[in-house]
Chains A and B, each alone.
Chain A
Amino acid sequence: AQKVTQAQTEISVVEKEDVTLDCVYETRDTTYYLFWYKQPPSGELVFLIRRNSFDEQNEISGRYSWNFQKSTSSFNFTITASQVVDSAVYFCALYFGNEKLTFGTGTRLTIIP
Chain B
Amino acid sequence: GAGVSQTPSNKVTEKGKYVELRCDPISGHTALYWYRQSLGQGPEFLIYFQGTGAADDSGLPNDRFFAVRPEGSVSTLKIQRTERGDSAVYLCASSSALNTGELFFGEGSRLTVL
Contacts and interface: CB of A to CB of B under 8 A. Distances in A.
Interface stretch (B17-25, B72-80, B94-102): B94-102
A7 B85 CA distance: 25
A46 B91 CA distance: 12
Contact of B42 (A47, A93, A97): A93
Contacts of A106: 40-42
Interface residues of B, number: 29
Q: Helix, strand, loop or mixed for chain B's interface?
A: loop
A33 interface: yes
A42 interface: yes
A42 B105 CA distance: 11
Interface in B17-65: 31, 33, 35, 40-45, 48, 55-56, 59
Interface size class of A (residues with CB under 8 A): 20 to 34
A50 B45 contact: no
B101 A50 contact: yes
Contact of B99 (A91, A99, A105): A99
B108 A33 contact: no
Nearest to A97: B99
Contacts of A100: 45, 48, 56, 59
A95 B101 contact: yes
Interface of A: 4, 33, 35, 42-47, 50, 91, 93, 95, 97-106
